[in-house]
Amino acid sequence: MSDGSTRNAGDDGAAGGGIDGVVGIGIDSAVGGMDGAVGGGIDGGAEEQHLARVLRSGLEQYDLTADDLALIDVGADAGDGDGSAAPLPVLAVVGRPNVGKSTLVNRILGRREAVVQDTPGVTRDRVTYEASWSGRSFVLVDTGGWDLEARGMGARVTEQAEIAVGLADAVLFVVDATVGATDADESMVRMLRRSSKPVVLAANKVDDLRGEAEAAALWSLGLGEPYPVSALHGRGSGDLLDACIEVLPEVSAVGGPTEPGLRRVALVGRPNVGKSSLLNALARADRVVVDEIAGTTRDPVDEIVELRGRRWRFVDTAGIRRRVHQTQGADFYASLRTQSAVEKAEVAVVLLDAGEPLTEQDTRVVQLAVDAGRAVVLAYNKWDLVDEERRRYLEREYETDLVQVRWAPRVNISARTGRHVDRLVPALDAALESWDTRVPTARLNALLGEVAAAHPHPVRGGKQPRILFGTQASTRPPRFVLFTTGFMEAGYRRFLERRLRETFGFVGTPIEVSIRPREKRRR
């Protein structure tokens, strides 16, 4: 773009009659006169670049802000050289239900990340976070309550806690000091001894000096010194973390290398559409708890998955309910975590139940991903349960209720059987490629010129706004800024967006077209 920042005699002569005249009549007339202006002696690419220089120079006649000039000068984003790093040590936080594990995790992180509520069983999956203390970084794994006698969903939560211990370098065992050691705590101590992992014992809910006597009674567990701590108020947390750092190795002996460059994919949808089942199918393991009860997942769960020889970071999220502001307790905070996970992701796979009619809730989830500016892939789950009649109705619903995201690639899968889950990869690749696409300024202005010449903006109030110059301000998602002589209606902007999609593709990504009306500088 730097070659178009100044005007020269060659530009004036090639434009045939001066730049002022070209820009003054708008981009459509400029394109119409390009053949004669350049004498037909250059190819299409050079002609596009020449047009961009002409229009760019003509903007000197208009009042432009410093922000406008920065947008015009913007170049292609440089790629990041992310590479693999040594695996961080892993610390698993375990304990029976409602002893304050997630509260302690939030205290260690220094922010409210894990969902917390004063009822047992809020956390159900293994949830990983990156934390640091005294200059040492490590991975913190929050787990659900461990209960040897649990049944149903509780048994699966216990299994996830045991898996977390097996995949950790050290364990932070949390006990409620106000209750003391229970039979469940004794059972967990036996499990921890079998694992042969270093264990740090945290006596939680010690809010004052009187509670330290109760904490001292936990020596009876045989795990060494109990560290009195108040996860709620932060009392004693520094000494506890010092002890954890002492037992953690410099480099994890169980974790794989960290891969910051992995593409991040969020699995989103309304409750009970099969998000957790899909993550388990992709990971080929029972990574997250799955149950027929809607709302099983509460915290976003990360997992690195290999598909078609490539590694991806998938994030399972809590189901988005109909009215987030009307939910209470853990469900409310789970919805907030889901929105945060979508904003941190690069592409959102929106799961829809193919066996049930599309609901307002489904369209709300799709709109959440679009509003966050993420690339979007639609995945119709439970396809193995769909008969021919349902498929006809489904196509009709897709044509009418999802018309706003007809640009999103669609994949029919079955998380339960694993059918066609590998087909997500081409759809993800297409969506992410479009999400990262940058259109050359010359090609963009050539297209705008053709469109404006064939379909000019309607005359409103005796005036017809014209496009002076267009530029792509950013990617992820693609955002275009058009400098015009007046305001352009929303319908015409949607028309321009359709033409941009027809010409450049943009499969699977939202795009934004914004208008900046500018007046001529007074002489």
Range among 24-38, 94-108, 125-139 rated most confident = 94-108
Lowest mean pLDDT among 270-279, 379-388, 408-417, 435-444: 270-279
Query: For residue 123, which of 149, 139, 89, 147 has the smallest C-alpha distance?
Result: 147
- Chain-centroid distance of CA 203 in Å reads 37
Using the predicted structure, report yes or no on whether residue 57 has a pLDDT greater than 70: no
User: Position of tokens 């690195």?
Assistant: 304
Residue 55 vs residues 50, 76, 514: alpha-carbon distances, Å: 9, 20, 18
Residue 96 CB coordination number (10 Å): 24
From CA 249, how far away is CA 192, in angstroms rounded?
A: 18
Q: Sorting pLDDT into bands at 50, 70 and 90, what band is 18?
A: very low
From CA 300, how far away is CA 347, in angstroms rounded?
A: 15
Q: How high does pLDDT run on average in the chain?
A: 79
Residue 201 vs residues 96, 169, 227, 239, 244: alpha-carbon distances, Å: 13, 15, 6, 12, 10
Res 200: pLDDT: 94
Alpha helices in 167-209 (DSSP H): 183-195
Q: Sorting pLDDT into bands at 50, 70 and 90, what band is 437?
A: very high
β-bridge partners, 331: none
Torsion of CA 44, 456, 59, 64, to 10 degrees: -140
Using the predicted structure, report yes or no on whether residue 159 has a pLDDT greater than 80: no
From CA 505, how far away is CA 430, in angstroms rounded?
A: 10
Task: Write out pLDDT tens, residues 317-346.
Answer: 876 755 544 444 445 555 666 777 787 889
Q: Sorting pLDDT into bands at 50, 70 and 90, what band is 171?
A: very high
Query: For residue 192, which of 151, 218, 162 has the smallest C-alpha distance?
Result: 162
Beta strand 136-142 with 127-133: parallel, antiparallel or unpaired? antiparallel
From CA 423, how far away is CA 421, in angstroms rounded?
A: 5
Q: Kindly state the average pLDDT of the residues 263-289.
A: 84
* Beta-carbon-side half-sphere exposure of residue 197 (alpha carbons within 13 Å): 33
Using the predicted structure, report yes or no on whether residue 16 has a pLDDT greater than 80: no
Record the tokens describing residue 434, joined without a space. 């479009």
- Those residues whose C-beta lies under 8 Å from the C-beta of residue 284, and which sit 6 or more positions away, are none
pTM confidence score:
0.62
Query: For residue 435, which of 427, 443, 447 has the smallest C-alpha distance?
Result: 427
Q: Kindly state the average pLDDT of the residues 269-284.
A: 87
Using the predicted structure, report yes or no on whether residue 153 has a pLDDT greater than 80: no
Q: Can you tell me whether residue 325 is helix, strand or coil?
A: helix
For the chain, the first-to-last Cα distance in angstroms comes to 27
